[in-house]
Amino acid sequence: MRPTAFSRPGRFYRGNIHTHSTNSDGLLDVAEVCRRYRERGYDFLALTDHFVGACNYPISDTRAHRGDGFTTLIGAELHSGPTDAGELWHILAVGLPFDFAPSHTPEFFPVDGQETGPEIAARAVAAGAFVAIAHPEWSGLTEADMRSITSAHAVEVYNHGCEVECDRASGLHAADLLAREGRRVSFIATDDAHFAHGNNDAFGGWVMVKAAENSPEALLEALKAGDMYSSTGPDFRDIELLEDRVKVQTSAVGAIILQGEGNATRAAFGDGLTEAEIEFGKLAESPWLRLTLIDANGGKAWSNPIWRN
C-alpha cells in the first residue's frame, strides 16, 4: 500500500501556506512577499493575514501575482476565543472565499460574544477552506483545545517563525494525541513569515503537495485529501507499506525514523542514506504509522500519518 501522495498521478509542488503582509502585521506588502517566494523557487503561496477588526478583516488578494509557474491560494489566519489559556485561537484557512463573514474579533485578544474556535473553524470548512490548527505549542493549546476543533484537516507540526523567535515550533505531540484518538488529520510545516527579522523567519518550512497541476483548485483539493508531506529540508521520494515493513526512498539523509502509537520507534541510519526497508517490530499493531527524515544539516521532513485501514 502506498499513501495517495505517492500513488496518485501528478507531481509535487512546493508551497508555504502561512504568511503575513502589511495587510496585517507583516513588514512587506503583498507584491513583495509574493516576489520573494517566487524568487526562491516556490511553486505557490498562501498569504494568511490576521482576520481581525484592527486590520479591517483582510483576506489578501494575491491573484495579480499568479503566472509563470507560480500560483497563489486565498486565505487568512482566523481568530476567535478563548482557548483554555484565555488566548485567541489561531486557525489557518486556505481557499477561503473573499465574502467570508467577519468574526467578532476587534483586536488581538478575546472579547465577550465571540464565536468559539471550533465554530469559526467549522464555518471556514463549510465555506470550502482547508483548515489547520496553527502552532499548538506556541499557543499553549491543551488536549481539550485540540480535541474541540473537530473540523480541522491538519495540524501545523512545524512553524518556522515560532522556531526563530521563541523555540516553540512543534505541533507533533498535539497531532500524535489526535491520531491516538482516531482523528485522521494531516501535517503541515509553514513559515508564518512576517519578515520582521530580514528573511530569518521565512523559507524555513514548507509543504510538498502532490497535485495534477499547479492551480489553486488542484492544490486545494490535494491539501484536503492529505496528498502532501512537510519539510524543512529533505524530500520523500516514495513510501510503500508491505506486510511487515515499510520501504522508503528519500533524498540523502542520515536517519529515517518510523513512529506510531505509543513510544515504540524503528529507524535506519547512515551517511547519505537514500532508501531503507524498516520492519514494523513493536509497531506491527499500531493503527497508524508516520515517518521522519533527518538530513546532515538537521533538516527534517514528516510524512502524514498513514492509517493501516
Rg (CA), the chain: 19
Asked if 215 and 139 sit in the same domain, the reply is yes
Asked if 8 and 116 sit in the same domain, the reply is yes
Torsion of CA 36, 102, 159, 154, to 10 degrees: -120
Residues 89 and 135 sit within 8 Å (Cβ to Cβ): no
pLDDT for the residue 198: 80
Rounded CA-CA distance 280/289 in Å is 9
Choosing from 214, 229, 244, the residue where a domain stops is 229
Asked if 213 and 263 sit in the same domain, the reply is no
Rounded CA-CA distance 58/103 in Å is 12
Choosing from 229, 259, 279, the residue where a domain stops is 229
pLDDT for the residue 197: 80
Rounded CA-CA distance 253/274 in Å is 6
Asked if 199 and 298 sit in the same domain, the reply is no
Asked if 178 and 207 sit in the same domain, the reply is yes
Asked if 10 and 153 sit in the same domain, the reply is yes
Asked if 108 and 35 sit in the same domain, the reply is yes
Residues 166 and 196 sit within 8 Å (Cβ to Cβ): no
Residues 157 and 189 sit within 8 Å (Cβ to Cβ): yes
Digitized pLDDT (tens) for each residue of the chain, 309 residues in all? 999 999 999 999 999 999 999 999 999 999 999 999 999 999 999 999 999 999 999 999 999 999 999 999 999 999 999 999 999 999 999 999 999 999 999 999 999 999 999 999 999 999 999 999 999 999 999 999 999 999 999 999 999 999 999 999 999 999 999 999 999 999 999 999 999 888 899 999 999 999 999 999 999 999 999 999 999 999 999 999 999 999 999 999 999 999 999 999 999 999 999 999 999 999 999 999 999 999 999 999 999 999 998
Choosing from 229, 245, 277, the residue where a domain stops is 229
DSSP at 181: T
Look at the chain and count its residues. Answer: 309
pLDDT tens digits for range 147-194: 999 999 999 999 999 999 999 999 999 999 999 999 999 999 999 999
For residue 219, the domain's CATH number is 3.20.20.140
Whole-angstrom distance between the N-terminal and C-terminal Cα of the chain?
10
For residue 282, the domain's CATH number is 2.60.40
Report residue 75 as a C-alpha cell.
486565505
pLDDT tens digits for range 130-159: 999 999 999 999 999 999 999 999 999 999
Asked if 105 and 249 sit in the same domain, the reply is no
Asked if 240 and 220 sit in the same domain, the reply is no
Report residue 230 as a C-alpha cell.
512537510
Domain count of the chain? Answer: 2
Domain that holds residue 289: 236-307
Cα 34–chain centre separation: 19
Within the chain, residue ranges assigned H as helices are 4-7, 30-39, 117-126, 136-139, 143-148, 160-166, 172-180, 216-225
Asked if 244 and 132 sit in the same domain, the reply is no
Range 66-71, long-range pairs (CB < 8 A, 24+ positions): 68/38, 69/43, 69/214, 70/34, 70/37, 70/38, 70/42, 70/43, 70/44, 70/45, 71/43, 71/44, 71/214, 71/215, 71/216, 71/219
Query: How many CB atoms neighbour CB 82 within 10 A?
Result: 16
Asked if 292 and 179 sit in the same domain, the reply is no
Asked if 138 and 182 sit in the same domain, the reply is yes
